[in-house]
Amino acid sequence: MKISTVKGTNDYLPKEAALRDYLMDEILKTYQSCGFQRIMTPVIEDIENLDKSEGGENLNLIFKVLKRGDKLEKALEAKNEKELCDMGLRYDLTLPLSRYYANNRDKLLSPFKCIQIDRVYRAERPQKGRLREFYQCDIDIIGTYSLTAEVELIATTAQALKNIGIGDFRVKINNRKLLKAILLKAGFQAEELDSVCISIDKLDKVGLDGVKEELNAKGFEAESINKLSEVLSTKPFTLEEAERLCPEEESVKEIRFILDSVKAFNGEFDVVYDITLIRGQGYYTGTVFEVESTKFRGAIAGGGRYDNLIGKFLNETVPAVGFSIGFERIFGILTDVGFQIPDRKKQIAVLYEEKDFIPAMEYARGLRENHNVAMYVKPKKTGKFIDKLQEQGCDGFYIYGQSGEIQFL
């Protein structure tokens, strides 16, 4: 039998698990303090729901669950690949939330402010920092077009990042509607925009020349590419520039409201308009945002407004906006810097001779009011064992019938 985990998944050692628990707990408590309520949804989801969800390239990364029994036999006979599966593992928490809201809306407040901290799955090609099973920590506000929702999500996410010790970051904002307006002004056609955005999204990796090259290869008009290139090489391309280009565009005001509001109550982090911010999901309709660590490379949170996704489950449009902390990235950063959990309960080991088991149990029970207490039969090589205990994060030990008091390490 195979002792390693399946590709792209991890076993977590006790110290790692403790850090993960600490982080999830801190994030949850912060989200709750800001008035969001936790909900829980299943990991497995109807395959059709997943397939029709406009999840962008994530749709190619769905783990599918084989049918069972008679249904499987029929599908095998029909030799139809599509027929083989009836469920899949969710690739994000936004699609399940949309289904959840449609399923339970009568029992929920409106606007509904909710938390999901849970696992998602993507059949990515495994590589450093890219897992097939990983956690996301989402907050969403459902049922309002008000931009105060965006502001609350930014404030809450920022507070959570601060509380877990990821202090240095900035928030980048863009708006799908404004980006589209600018691209149309540059001369691209409406049906070309998705493809253009996919190329712009690679700016960080391939540079402006790389983006231009790709757009050329895709056969777009040279004039449009040049106009876009002009925009992308304006640094900084401010919201005022965007407004000058598209003076009639309402979404400029949306971005401005968000920037101004966040600045009004916050003196701790930067919040900026960034025309190059894309975010891959097809379901975003307005604001998109991302948090970038200024100390560590890359995005640590992201999200956006998806006003049409829930409507796919209902006969009416329900606006929604969400923000997700990239848990694994945060966990990776804090592990790399050797982060220590603050105010951790003390771990004490009680060592005993086998004959003293019952009284040693009684003694340990008393200690448990204030400490986490593990019992071990006293091994012959006690010193070596205690070294190993310390290595595992043990804070002190007590040898039953021998120690006067706990020996702290």
* Of positions 64, 170, 256, 279, contacts its own copies by CB under 8 A: 64
Does residue 368 touch its own copies according to CB under 8 A? yes
Q: Is 284 annotated as a binding residue?
A: yes
Residues 6+ apart with CB under 8 A from 2: none
Specify the residue, 9 or 189, whose C-beta has the smaller distance to its own copies. Answer: 9
Rounded to whole angstroms, how far apart are CA atoms 143 and 127?
38
> 236: cis peptide before it, omega within 30°?
yes
Residues within window 20-59 making contact with its own copies, judged by CB under 8 A: 20-21, 28, 32-46, 48-49, 52
Residues within window 288-347 making contact with its own copies, judged by CB under 8 A: 312-314, 345, 347
Sheet holding 396-399, edge to edge: 372-377, 347-352, 396-399, 407-408
Q: Is 159 annotated as a binding residue?
A: no
* Of positions 242, 252, 373, 399, contacts its own copies by CB under 8 A: 373
Q: Is 93 annotated as a binding residue?
A: yes
Q: Is 352 annotated as a binding residue?
A: no
Specify the residue, 128 or 235, whose C-beta has the smaller distance to its own copies. Answer: 128
Q: How far apart are CB 89 and its own copies at their closest, in Å?
A: 8
Nearest in space to 319 (alpha carbons), one of 48, 10, 69, 101: 101
Q: Is 340 annotated as a binding residue?
A: no
Beta strands in 129-282 (DSSP E): 133-142, 169-175, 270-273
Nearest in space to 406 (alpha carbons), one of 351, 355, 369: 351
Rounded to whole angstroms, what are the CA distances from 61 to 300, 304, 326? 21, 21, 18
Q: Which stretch binds its own copies (CB under 8 A): 14-22, 218-226, 289-297, 300-308?
A: 14-22
Q: How far apart are CB 225 and its own copies at their closest, in Å?
A: 34
* Of positions 163, 276, 308, 372, contacts its own copies by CB under 8 A: 372
* Of positions 82, 365, 366, 402, contacts its own copies by CB under 8 A: 365
Q: Do residues 307 and 285 touch, judged by C-beta distance below 8 A?
A: yes
Rounded to whole angstroms, what are the CA distances from 73 to 87, 140, 352? 16, 41, 58
Rounded to whole angstroms, what are the CA distances from 39 to 96, 104, 116, 141, 268? 11, 11, 6, 13, 30
Rounded to whole angstroms, how far apart are CA atoms 310 and 298?
30
Q: Is 201 annotated as a binding residue?
A: no
Number of residues that bind its own copies (CB under 8 A): 99
Q: Is 101 annotated as a binding residue?
A: no
Residues within window 99-158 making contact with its own copies, judged by CB under 8 A: 99-100, 102-104, 107-109, 111, 113-114, 119, 121, 123, 132-133, 144, 146, 148, 151-152, 155
Rounded to whole angstroms, what are the CA distances from 397 to 30, 343, 350, 353? 34, 19, 6, 14
Specify the residue, 28 or 245, whose C-beta has the smaller distance to its own copies. Answer: 28
Written as six digits, the tokens of 348 are 């004490």
Q: Do residues 42 and 72 touch, judged by C-beta distance below 8 A?
A: no
Q: How far apart are CB 199 and its own copies at their closest, in Å?
A: 25
* Of positions 189, 216, 238, 392, contacts its own copies by CB under 8 A: 392
Spell out, one character per residue from 240 to 279, where the chain touches its own copies: x when CB under 8 A holds, - when not. Answer: ---------------------x--xx--------------
Positions at the binding site for L-histidine = 92-94, 122, 136, 140, 279, 283-284
